[in-house]
Amino acid sequence: MHTLQAHKKTREMKTSPLITKEAMGNELISRNFGKRDEKMKLQTVTYSESNELFAVFKQYMMPTIDGAIGWDEDFQFDGFVENIKRDWFRWLIVRNEKAGLVCFRTIESRIHIHLLIVFHPFQRQGLARQFFRLIESKHKSKCLSLSSLKNNKIAIYMYTKYGFKVIAEDEHFYSFIKFNTNREVP
């Protein structure tokens, strides 16, 4: 299926009604979207949804990657499939709709965020900030880390605004870290 068609199908699909977090192992967080009190939910990506992951990654990341280092479809697909596990992914769910896609995992004393995508209709509504807060509240003893292509100016602005600091860089990437201000001190 063509990437754009796959994303349109994804946007058209409604997820099942919200199930309690105890039943699904999902996390909920309140967020005031407009006049109603909404919930942002992290929902596990099912095996049957696995084929959507690369299509979403490609649609949202190809322009940035292509502008920085060039897009090589085979290289990107192989790296995506070989280096990232499906169980690291979660859908961002708002109003029973897929609002974004995140990929993160625990590495020693930190939570590393491999990917954070908020779908266009949901951008600039604070979902990324709410995601960061949720992760920090659930992992109080861990810091957050991520990397970004240098040409991804909007993401870099958002990360620095939220308190991430550049700890390393190379020709194309910045590496960021944010120490959890909610850390529990023994």
> Per the domain annotation, does 94 fall within a domain?
yes
Phi, then psi, of 19 in degrees rounded to 5: -110, 150
The Cα 108–Cα 61 span in angstroms is 27
Strands in the chain per DSSP E: 27-33, 36-44, 89-94, 97-107, 110-118, 143-149, 165-169, 173-178
Q: What is the largest CA-CA distance in the chain?
A: 52
Q: What's the domain range around 99? A: 3-110+117-142
In a domain, 44, yes or no: yes
Give the CATH number for residue 40: 3.40.630
Nearest residue to 88 via CA among 31, 39, 122, 50: 50
**CA distances in angstroms from 22 to 19, 28, 61, listed in the order given:** 8, 10, 33
Reduce the DSSP state of residue 164 to 3 states and report it.
coil
User: Domain for residue 130, yes or no?
Assistant: yes
More confident residue, 155 or 12: 155
The verdict on residue 184 lying in a domain is no
The answer to the question of residue 179 being in a domain is: no
- If one counts the domains in the chain, the total is 1
pTM: 0.75
Quickly count: other Cβ atoms within 10 Å of residue 25's Cβ: 10
pLDDT in tens, 114-147: 999 999 999 999 999 999 998 998 888 889 999 9
- pLDDT-above-70 percentage for the chain: 77
pLDDT digits (tens, 9 = 90+) for 47-64: 999 889 999 999 999 999
